[in-house]
Amino acid sequence: MSLSLRIKERAAELGFCKTRIVAANRLETEGDLFFRWLETGFHGEMAWINREPEKRIDPKQIFPDARSLVVLAMNYYTPHAHDDSTPAGKISRYAWGDDYHDVMRERLRDLLEWIKMEDPEADGKICVDTTPVLEKAWAVRAGIGWLGKHTNVITPTHGSWVFLGEIILNLEVEYDTAIVEDHCGSCTACIDACPTNAIVKPYVVDSRKCISYATIELRDETLPAEIAANQNGWLYGCDICQDVCPWNRFEKPTKEMRFEPRNNETSLPLESLAEMQHDEYVERFRGSAMKRAKLSGLKRNAAAISLLKGEP
């Protein structure tokens, strides 16, 4: 069995639902689209995206010995719903369980160590979101799935409920060449459903209009009026464009228990957030992706939901 096939077999054992391997060449066309997106200002106040953008399209600028890119997807779907029985703020599905950065990083590190044992000449670098890599572009190039009109990668087998990660390797191995055809067709469900019109045209999102961006990344003391008026109860993130996607009928429950909702919570009571102190916040969100918004951000988001509902 080739090393490529053995890597995929081991990745499946570690919980990845899809693994593809491609040459670590510069992303030319995808890079041009990315630079135009930046020039338009669609990244909003996420200055880190515009920092050393060349690294995002050329793996050799991250890992000089790069020869191959192992692209992996991990299913995070759990079959639960938001609790609307009490005044609460909805949490995006990806943040229900443990921080996916931690889970993915551990599994990718295990896989890289295994590769090194298989080939003593092997070396590499693991990448999980925070590393400057155009993950979705690489997932499309590698054949993990296609880029949906909502700009999430859609897989034919698991829909869009997947996390992405990469290992940049110094080895040349057998590469995957098949790509997944775009199956969005004439569907505009995600565009039509977005309450803030953040999907300004197919395959392009203006972050400044996005509920996820506003409730997670934006550091302003108050939410933009257009966001607050159309928040739809979202406390942290937003899943509307994925919830309405017809391809998510192929969703399958993940086997990773760490993605199950913490404390069985898919929403958080607004009153408890309003009263939450820093020490409680630190304990409650330790190891959670929700710490990204900070306590001040969660309180701001909760206050906006309460105001819209006319609650004290």
List, by residue number, the catalytic residues. Answer: 129
- Beta-strand ranges (E) seen in 129-191 are 146-147, 153-154, 162-169
For the chain, give me the number of helices (H) and strands (E)? 12, 11
User: Which one, of 137, 130, 134, 158, lies nearest residue 242 by Cα?
Assistant: 158
Instruction: Sort strands 18-23 and 124-127 into parallel, antiparallel or unpaired.
Output: unpaired
Is the four-CA dihedral 271, 274, 280, 282 of positive or negative sign? positive
Contacts of 257 (CB under 8 A, 6+ apart): none
* Among 211, 208, 219, 259, residue whose Cα is nearest residue 235: 211
How many whole angstroms separate alpha carbon 93 and alpha carbon 104?
A: 16
C-alpha 76/C-alpha 257 separation (Å) is: 9
Q: Are strands 18-23 and 153-154 parallel, antiparallel or unpaired?
A: unpaired
| Pair 219, 128: CB distance under 8 Å | no
Other beta carbons within 10 Å of 190: 25
| DSSP-assigned states of every residue in 22-59 | EE----HHHHHHHHHHHHHTTTTT-GGGGSSTHHHH-G
Q: With contact defined as beta carbons under 8 Å apart, do 266 and 81 qualify?
A: yes
Report helix angle 100-118 to 3-13, nearest 10.
140
